[in-house]
Chains A and B, each alone.
Chain A
Amino acid sequence: MEQLFNRKYTIQGLFIVLALILLGNLFYIQVGTDKYFTSANNNALRRFYVYPARGVIMDRNNKVLAQNQPTYDLLVTPNEVKDFDTLSLCNVIGISMEDFRKKFHKAVVQSRYQASIFQKLLSVETYASLQEKIYNYPGFYVQQRTIRYYPDSIAAQFLGYLREVNPKDIERYGGYYRSGDYIGKSGIEREYEPVLRGTKGVKNILYNAKNIPQGSYANGKLDSMAVSGDQLISTIDSRIQKLGEQLLANKVGSVVAIEPSTGEVLAFVSSPGYDPNKLVGGNFSPNYLELYANPYRPFIIRPLQGKYSPGSAFKPLDALIALSQGVVDINTTFNCPGYYWAGDRKFKCEHVDGNISLKRGIARSCNTYFYSIFAKLMTKNGSSSASQQATYEKWQNMVRKFGIGDTLGIDLPAEKAYKLFRREDYTKMHGKYWGNTTILSVAIGQGEITTTPLQMANIMAIIANRGYYIKPHVVKGIGSDRHIDPKYKEKHYVDIDARYFDPVIDGMQDAVNSSWGTATESRLQNIIMCGKTGTVQNNRGKNHSVFIGFAPRDNPKIAIAVIVENGGYGGAYAAPIASYITEKYLTDTLTGRRINGSTIDMYKATNLLPELKAAKPATKIINKTDSLHQADSLKKAAPKQAILHNSPFNKTAIKPKNNAATK
């Protein structure tokens, strides 16, 4: 009996041990792991997002460039679907039964109990006819959202486009985006994405096991309202933007116009362009692929990425540095016999100007004059290699102040810097001994100088401002208080005294307004336009036509750079196009001027697209100053054309062929 009494402890011990097993398990489930807590929230708690309206983008005159339009998605919750007339639904939304089965299967795989998108981006018409019949299709319903609409169909590369986020974007923005959300992928839509998108609203709704909503979670304490995106007022003037795009139609090239006093970009034309509405809504993918495959590469943002030697357009800058360094004054003359001897090499000039001074040198674009001042500048501290190289280093630093050799920091993505050679770059290239004769072509903006159209326009803004610039930017007001980044108000001085600018501007005025000038095609009535043509050698085809300038001379309102690839002589296309845009901007009218017999419509109609040869992938493209061939090399900053460019040329000698501007 004594023994049996002890069995009490066995049984009580068993109770305690088993109770501890229960408690141990409970401790693991409740405290030891979050797994079940998370599952519980996944079970019952669903987050719904309320999408805010994306910010509207306007031009500088408050004309809408990008707005929103409603579109409709058809959603389906598979377990709510009952038997219905499938064929009639297929007919309404225009898909085949086969597609229907596929899409429905996809929705079932995704979730039986949660709604998923069945058909995206229904048109307003489809929506209207669907709305009448939707009650026939249990389990289907329509959700509204907005997509972009660009009323003027202009400035595609400037505005950019939206696209569904990819996993990388989702990661980069720390979970703000969910699969299926849209994000700005290029242009202003990308740069100002955080401002434009606004903030999504969240609703936390509790669901019961039968998938019926049971009201908001925690009385809506964790819910938030959607906050609309801010509106952006861009600096673009849609009038001249549109005109620029028309003038560059069927041509490869760029127009960049800047308001010198503010750095605001007035026109940003990249040609060939495309209709931005093509990259919106249901046809995004086919259109994107088509544009991507277009051999003229409409996705290159040429104002920021086009890589051009400035050519003669560089000469005003050259002259400014020479003046400020005291190498020449306005009366210093050099003799131009039609060529220039550099050591034993003969560099041709296109015309015989005799004794020529600064003002006329610019107006005539005399190569000999600029070779001479460059040589004089380089040797001013001695003509030994070492001292010339030291002088070069100082010179290139001055050039750099004009925004060459680095990005300008515009508020758009994908801006390219391109390279301005430093002393050590040349030493690497030519060895220890080199001097002005070795690198003479930089004197006329060829060789180891490459710039973007934006940089060229900015140089004109600097000259128009007599010595400073404000970083070019494309947005002049964000949101209701119209603020902008203060860095776009700062003046950047080039450290050249204002008095040196007048002689150079005189020369540029003469280039346009004198009988001997090279840019007479851009002459305007009642407005003093200052400018400079350039003709950039293109080894692959016809030379590129370049014009840079500003107007009016006093208190300039617009600085402009125009590049027309394969346009030949600078006065042939770039100069007249620049003049039309300037005229439109300053007077808001276009007089029916004829330039060398051509009307504006003839310029618009001319087709200068280069003929495309059958693809020859094996051919090495040595000279990539032609934007059609640079796409693959955009990432490499180092120019490779130096060897070929060592032999200089004179732009004016190449007569315009096959264009409307024959004299």
Chain B
Amino acid sequence: MQQQSNRFFFNVDWVTILIYMALCIIGCVSIYASVYDPARPMDFSFATIYGKQLYFVIAGLVVGFSILLFDAKFFSVFAPIIYGVTMILLLVVLGVGRNVGGNQAWIPIGSFRLQPSEFAKFGTALLLARYISTFNVKLNSLRPIMICAAIIVLPMALIMLQPDAGSTLVFLSFMFPLYREGLPGYLLIIFWGMVLLFILNLFLSPALLIGGILALGGLFIYYNRKRQQKIISIAVITLISVGYLFVAKFLFNNVLQPHQRARIELILGLKTDNKGVGYNVIQSKIAIGAGQFKGRGYLEGTQTKFGYVPAKSTDFIFSTIGEEWGFIGCFVVIGLYVFLLLRIINIAERQRSAFSRVYGYCVACIIFFHVFINIGMAIGIMPVIGIPLPFISYGGSSLWSFTILLFIFLKLDSNRMGFI
């Protein structure tokens, strides 16, 4: 029995768990602050949202440590089934889901609501890891890349139907584990180049942009004028880029929802709107700015407390931290995240099994994407796409899915000496 329990927690990376718990506690404390009303101080109760969050954290720990009890092989063996289940849940939510805030993302279960898109993240991560770790898969030919793309695009498509653009975009973060496993770098460059062109397309006039692309193409051709083959490919790329501009414009104007367009335009500074969509961002920036260096002090924030910042305990929880703890608090929180992510990557790299490594990269990249976008939108440099801050934002589904995501990795790591 002694040996048995030793086996479960042997080799578990307690540093990661410590950072995880620190972030969860910061979450509870900030959620308490975000709803604290100085006129009516409340006693602790599980009915309040910070009470619920505390409950979520405790339940999350139970879930997390339960995962450590699983056999490490379970996750690689059952990866396709877990993926399948989460995909089914994504389909179910389209049918029976409850519409909250314009998105059909929630399945009501008793008094709780389950958000399948949160669980689809680790489902996808598991299957991706399973596929890439399969013997003989090399990510430098078309077929495996297409299979990986299919694994990623399926949940994206289902989530887009809800529609939940924010959660959809999270799946883009799987690009980086693929890159680590050998996806050619130029594909990434092409992808982000397209994103850049898409954004520039909104900023600059078409004539200027097309002129710029042609001039750049001409310059490349001039420098490679002795190598005929390169000249042709550069010319082709240039022309495709120009064509892409028109497609992008069409997509932007006809495929994106008006509120998504508005948010993108706002973030790029094409429009100012202090009362509508921009209100959230401006108020969040004001709240964070009001914190200054040292912060206003715990429970002293006025902007978050008095309802100027909307969604202050979920998507904009970072404004509460920024206002009450100032730059110091922001630095500590971001520092904890960076430390956690670098540690996960390092742990991933020490894995003998490709499955564990790929999965580790998936975990790090998903968490990072959330952190960067969430804080970025709170300070107005990213569009408001409504994704939570991992471990800190209020919400059971989000906390549990991140917990499961992380603890599966910790379980895989604890078993790094064995074979999967």
A contact residues vs B (CB 8 Å cutoff): 4-5, 7-8, 10-12, 14-16, 18-19, 21-23, 25-27, 29-31, 33, 35-37, 39-41, 43-45, 206-210, 214-215
Contact = CB atoms under 8 A, between A and B. Distances in A.
A22 B376 contact: yes
A37 B289 contact: yes
A11 B176 contact: yes
B349 A5 contact: yes
A398 to B, nearest CB: 69
A12 B341 CA distance: 8
Of B182, B283, B308, which is in contact with the most chain A CB atoms at under 10 Å from its CB? B308
Nearest to A218: B300
A658 to B, nearest CB: 75
Contacts, number: 118
B90 interface: no
Contacts of B341: 12, 15
Interface string B281-296: 0010111111111000
A7 B327 contact: no
Interface stretch (B1-9, B331-339, B396-404): B331-339
B303 A40 contact: yes
Contact of A8 (B330, B345, B376): B345
Contacts of B364: 11, 15
A22 B372 contact: yes
Nearest to B361: A11
A35 B368 CA distance: 30
A19 B338 contact: yes
Contacts of B342: 12, 15-16
A30 B296 CA distance: 11
B182 A45 contact: no
B161 to A, nearest CB: 30
Interface of B: 38-39, 176, 179-182, 283, 285-293, 302-303, 305-308, 322-323, 326-327, 330-331, 334, 337-338, 341-342, 345, 349, 361, 364-365, 368, 372, 375-376, 379, 381
A206 B331 contact: no
Main secondary structure on chain B at its contact with chain A? Answer: helix
A43 B349 contact: no
Nearest to B368: A15
Contact of A39 (B286, B322, B368): B286
A8 B349 contact: yes
A215 B323 CA distance: 20
A209 B289 contact: no
A30 B293 contact: yes
Contact of B286 (A15, A43, A206, A208): A43
28 contacts: A4-B180, A5-B349, A7-B180, A8-B180, A11-B179, A14-B176, A15-B342, A15-B345, A16-B342, A19-B337, A19-B338, A22-B379, A23-B331, A26-B288, A26-B334, A26-B379, A29-B288, A30-B289, A33-B289, A36-B289, A37-B289, A40-B289, A43-B286, A43-B303, A45-B302, A206-B306, A214-B306, A215-B38
Of B302, B364, B372, B375, which is in contact with the most chain A CB atoms at under 10 Å from its CB? B302
Contacts of B349: 5, 8
A215 B302 CA distance: 11
A1 to B, nearest CB: 9
B285 A29 contact: yes
Contacts of B308: 43-44, 208-209
Contacts of A39: 286, 289-290
Q: Which 10 A-B pairs have the closest CB atoms?
A: A36-B289, A40-B290, A208-B306, A209-B307, A44-B302, A29-B289, A30-B327, A39-B286, A209-B308, A19-B338
Given A30-B292, A30-B330, A31-B293, 7 more contacts: A19-B338, A27-B327, A29-B289, A40-B287, A207-B306, A214-B39, A215-B38
Given A37-B292, A208-B306, A22 B375 contact: yes
B372 A18 contact: yes
Nearest to A217: B302
A40 B345 CA distance: 39
A40 B302 contact: yes
A47 to B, nearest CB: 14
A49 to B, nearest CB: 21
A9 to B, nearest CB: 9
Of A11, A35, A41, which is in contact with the most chain B CB atoms at under 10 Å from its CB? A11
Nearest to A7: B180
Contact of A11 (B180, B302, B323, B338): B180
Main secondary structure on chain A at its contact with chain B? Answer: helix
Contacts of A30: 288-289, 291-293, 322, 326-327, 330
A215 B293 contact: no
Contacts of A208: 305-308
A12 B364 CA distance: 10
A44 B306 contact: yes
Contacts of B176: 11, 14
A31 B375 CA distance: 17
Contacts of B368: 15, 18
Contacts of B372: 18-19, 22
A5 B354 CA distance: 12
A45 B308 CA distance: 12
A19 B334 CA distance: 7
A292 to B, nearest CB: 45
A29 B376 CA distance: 12
A206 B289 contact: no
A4 B182 contact: yes
B303 A25 contact: no
A23 B38 contact: no
Given A30-B327, A37-B290, A39-B289, A25 B307 contact: no
A15 B331 CA distance: 15
Contacts of A18: 368, 372
Given A25-B381, A30-B330, A37-B292, A206 B302 contact: yes
A11 B173 CA distance: 11
A40 B292 CA distance: 11
Contacts of B338: 15-16, 19
B345 A22 contact: no
A5 B379 CA distance: 34
Contacts of B331: 23, 26
A21 B38 CA distance: 35
Contacts of B182: 4
Of A21, A30, A33, which is in contact with the most chain B CB atoms at under 10 Å from its CB? A30
Of A5, A40, A214, which is in contact with the most chain B CB atoms at under 10 Å from its CB? A40
B392 to A, nearest CB: 15
Contacts of B307: 208-210
A31 B327 contact: yes
B403 to A, nearest CB: 21
Nearest to A209: B307
Contacts of A214: 38-39, 306
B87 to A, nearest CB: 27
Contacts of B330: 23, 26, 30
Nearest to B180: A7
A21 B334 CA distance: 11
A519 to B, nearest CB: 76
A21 B323 CA distance: 19
Contacts of B180: 4, 7-8, 11
A48 to B, nearest CB: 17
A10 B322 CA distance: 29
A11 B342 CA distance: 9
Contacts of A45: 302
Nearest to B375: A22
A14 B371 CA distance: 13
Nearest to A36: B289
A12 B346 CA distance: 9
B128 to A, nearest CB: 16
A31 B283 CA distance: 17
A386 B374 CA distance: 95
A18 B364 CA distance: 14
Of A14, A35, A44, which is in contact with the most chain B CB atoms at under 10 Å from its CB? A44
Contacts of A21: 381
A329 B350 CA distance: 125
